[in-house]
Structure 1
C-alpha cells in the first residue's frame, strides 16, 4: 500500500473554506429523553477529560437521533432508548466488536474498556466486573439492540435530550484501530500510546509513540514475521487538508522497538516505498532508515546532506541496500534524483530523460516554488527491470497525456 495520495488541486482549494473546530469533549451525565427516569451508568476507568492530552484537543460532531420517529436503528422499550449494534459500531469506531449471533453474545473492547453482554440479560461484564445495567440486551429484526446510554457512557461519551423527540449523542474516538480479532492494535490520537489485544481481551500498553492526530487518521497493520508487525499511521489534516504526517512503528515481540515520523505539506504525493530486500523503509525527518523486522538498523542516510536539498522533506520511491542506490524526491521541489548512497553521487533524472524545452521550463519554474502551479518534473517511478528504471511522465499541459520513459544504470 502506498502512503499519502495524489491530490486533486481543485478539491483541496475548495476545502480551504472549511474551518477545523478543535475542542475537548467532557463527559457529562444528562437525564435522558425518558422524562425524569435516570438510567444506570457504568463505571469508567478514567473520564474523557483525564484521558485527553492537554496538547491535543479532539472533537467529533454529535449524532442526532429521532427516537420517536421511524429510524429502525432506534427503539424504545419500557422507557429505555435502545440502539442497534451496527449503528453503535458506526459511532464507536475505535472499539473492536465481536458479535456472535449463534451464541447471543456481544463483546466490545478498546483501551481501558471491555464489555461482554449476553442476549436477554440485564447483567454484563463491564471492565472485568459483573454489573446490572438499565435494560437487557435485545435481539430483534436480525440484529442486537443495546441500551444507548449505558453503552455510550461506558465508552466515554454523552447522551442528552435536544427536545421532546431528539437525542444528541456525543462521542469522540480517542484512538485509531487496526488489525483483526487475531491481534488488534490501537494508537491513541492524543498522546500516542499504543495498545494491543487478542480478541476481546483488555488491551494492554505496548509502548508510546510520537503519533498525534486530531483530524483524519488511519492505521495500517502489516505482519512482517511471526514476532514482528509494522504499524503505519497516516494523519491528513490542515486547511485545506494539505498536510500528511506519516508515522511508522515496528512492534517486535509485543513491544515498540523503533518508530519514525515524516511530515509533508503541499500538493505533491507523499508516497514512498514500504519494504526492500527484507527491510522496512522508514523516513524519520530527513533521514532514510533501512530497518530489519526486529527493529535493528541495516543502514541510515542523511538525505539532506546526500542530495544538497535543504529545508524540505523527502520521499523515497525506490531503494536497494544491496546496490547502494535510491530514487529520492525532495518533496516541494519534486525532482526525481538517482542517488548513490555510498558515493553521494546525485543524478537529476529530468536532465537525462526530458527534452530541452521541458528542462528549460522546469528550470525557470523552480525559483517560484508555487505548490499549486508547480508540477515538478512529473516523473513517477513505475518499476525496476534489471538495470533499467521505468517512469511514467505526464507531458505538458498537465493532463495532456502520459508516456513511459526509461533510464539504464551506467555500470
Structure 2
C-alpha cells in the first residue's frame, strides 16, 4: 500500500515537472525567435533597434525606419504625442492609442504605437496605410522590405528638419508643423549624395549637399545654402572633375564660405555678401578651387587642377605658392614637371600634398606625408 502511494506521488510530481517545463518552453522559444530584418529596395538597412513581433503583428522602430525614408520623428512632452513629418505630411500618434491625426484629420489605425525602453514601435501596416510607404513582410525570411525610393534628401539639426527635392531643387523645412517651402534652387541630384545642416544662429542655418556621380565617380558638385527666417537667402554651387580634394571650410571668421563656380563669396548669417573674390583675384588663374583656411586678412586657397595650396593676403592681393617655400628642390621639380606636362589630371598626381593644421601667432603649421612644416607670416 505504501509503495502504491509512493508511486502515485512520484508520478504526480513527475507530471508537474513536465507541465512546468511545457509552460516554460514557449518562453524560451520566444526569446530565441529569428531576428526580423529590414531592407529598402531589397538592400539591408542599418537600424539602431530591431523590429519585433507583438500579438501576431510586426512592429518596426518608427524613428529609425522613418529617417531612412525621409521622415522626421519627434516627441512632444507637453501633449505626450509623437509627430511624424514629411513633405506634405503631418501625422500625430499617441502611445497605446488606436487613433491618429493625419494632416489635421482623425483616423483609426490598425493597432496603437508601443513604447519599449524609450523606443517607439508602430505596426508595419502604418507605413503602408498612413505614411504611404509600400512595405511587404516575408514570413519565410522574417524580412520587412520597403519598396520605396524617396524623392527627397532629408537631414535635421537640433530638432529642425530639412528636405531637398532631388530633381526640382526645392528646399523645405519645418518649424514644428507640416513642412513649408524655403525656396527653389538650381541644384539637382544625379547619384550618390549627402545632405547636412548646421545652425548659425537662432534664425539662420547653413545647408550643404555633396553629389558624386559618373564612372569612375570623379564628378563632384558641392551646393551650399543659407536659410534665414525660413527663406533661402543665398546659395552657391561649384563643380569639380578629378580626384583632388573638393572640401572647403565652412567659415572664414564669422563669415560663411560660399563658392559659386569660380567666385568666392563671404556672407553673414543673413545671406548678405560682405566680400567677393574671383579666381583670378585669389591665385591669378581661371579655375575652380577650394578654401582650406582663413585667419586675419589671409585665405588659404587651392586651385583644383594644380592642387597647389596658396596663401592670399586679401588686403594687398599678394599670394604665395606655399610648395615653393616649403618643399625640397626635388619635390618642387616633380610638381613643376607634372604641371608643365599637363599631367595634373593623372591619378598619380596629388598636388603638393600640403594640409593646413593650425596657426599659432605668426606661424602656420602644415602636414605633408606625416612630416610637419611651418611657414612664417611676414
Q: TM-score range by the shorter chain?
A: 0.7 to 0.9
Partner residue of 2:368?
A: 393
Query: Is structure 2 residue 244 aligned with structure 1 residue 268?
Result: yes
Change (3 A) 1:277 1:164: closer
263-272 or 148-157, larger mean C-alpha shift: 148-157
CA distance in 1, matches of 2:220, 2:50: 38
Alignment of 1:37-56 (within 5 A): none
Q: Which residue of 1 aligns with 2:323?
A: 350
- Write 1 or 2 for the structure with the bigger share of helix: 2
TM-score with structure 2 setting the length = 0.76
* Residue 109 (1) aligns with residue 85 (2): yes
Conservation of the 8 A alpha-carbon contact between 1:156 and 1:171: no
- Mapped pair 1:381 → 2:356: yes
**TM-superposed deviation, 1:317:** 1.3
Counting only pairs closer than 5 Å after superposition, residues 172-211 of structure 1 correspond to structure 2 as: 172-173=149-150, 174-181=152-159, 183-199=160-176, 201-211=177-187
Provide the residue aligned with 1:88 in structure 2: 65
What is the aligned length?
332
Query: How far off its partner does 1:329 sit?
Result: 0.6
Residue aligning to 1:131: 107
Measure how far apart 1:111 and its partner are: 1.5
* Structure 1: distance between partners of 2:376 and 2:253: 21
Residue 61 (structure 1) aligned to one of 33, 37, 41: 41
How far did 1:300 drift?
A: 0.7
CA distance in 2, matches of 1:225, 1:139: 34
Measured on the aligned residues, the alpha-carbon RMSD in Å equals: 3.1
1:171, CA displacement in angstroms? Answer: 2.2
Q: Which moved more, 1:346-355 or 1:231-240?
A: 231-240
- Aligned 8 A contact 2:251 2:257 in 1: yes
Unaligned runs of 5+ in 1: 1-59, 66-70, 395-401
Written as runs of structure 1 = structure 2, the 5 A alignment for 1:6-405 is 61-62=41-42, 73-75=51-53, 77=55, 81-85=58-62, 88-89=65-66, 91-92=68-69, 94-99=70-75, 105-139=81-115, 143-160=119-136, 168-173=145-150, 174-181=152-159, 183-199=160-176, 201-304=177-280, 306-310=282-286, 312-320=287-295, 323=297, 325-366=298-339, 367-394=342-369, 402-405=370-373
CA 156–235 in structure 1, closer or farther in 2 if over 3 Å, else same: farther
Q: Are 2:366 and 1:408 aligned?
A: no
d(CA) in 1 for partners of 2:255, 2:62: 41
Distance in 2, Cα, partners of 1:328 & 1:87 = 40
Contact 1:157 1:172 in 2 (8 A): no
Q: For 1:273 and 1:83, locate their aligned partners in 2 and report how far apart those are by CA, in whole Å.
A: 39
Q: TM-score scaled by structure 1?
A: 0.71
CA contact (8 A) 2:155 2:195 kept: yes
**1:241 & 1:99 partners in 2: Cα distance?**
40
* Structure 1 residues 368-405: Cα deviation after superposition (integer angstroms, max 9, x where no partner): 224420021111112233333222122xxxxxxx2222
User: Could you say what secondary structure the match of 1:383 adopts?
Assistant: strand
Q: Which has the larger radius of gyration?
A: 2
Deviation digits for residues 196-236 of structure 1 (CA, Å, limit 9, x no counterpart):
2234x211112122332354433332222333222222234
**Post-superposition offset of 1:328:** 1.4
Mapped contact 2:174–2:180 kept (Cα < 8 A): yes
Task: State the shift of 1:179 in Å.
Answer: 1.2
Q: What's the secondary structure of 1:222's corresponding residue?
A: strand
Per the alignment, in what secondary structure is the counterpart of residue 330 of structure 2? helix
Residue aligned with 2:331, SS: helix
How far is 1:96 from its partner? 1.4
Question: 1:399 aligns to what?
Answer: none
Shift of 1:344: 4.1
Deviation at 1:106, TM superposition (A): 2.7
Deviations along 1:53-73, one digit per CA (max 9) or x if unpaired, are: xxxxxxx634689xxxxx961
Distance 2:64 2:273 in 1: 45
Q: Which residue of 2 aligns with 1:3?
A: none
| Distance in 2 (alpha carbons) for counterparts of 1:119 and 1:221 | 30
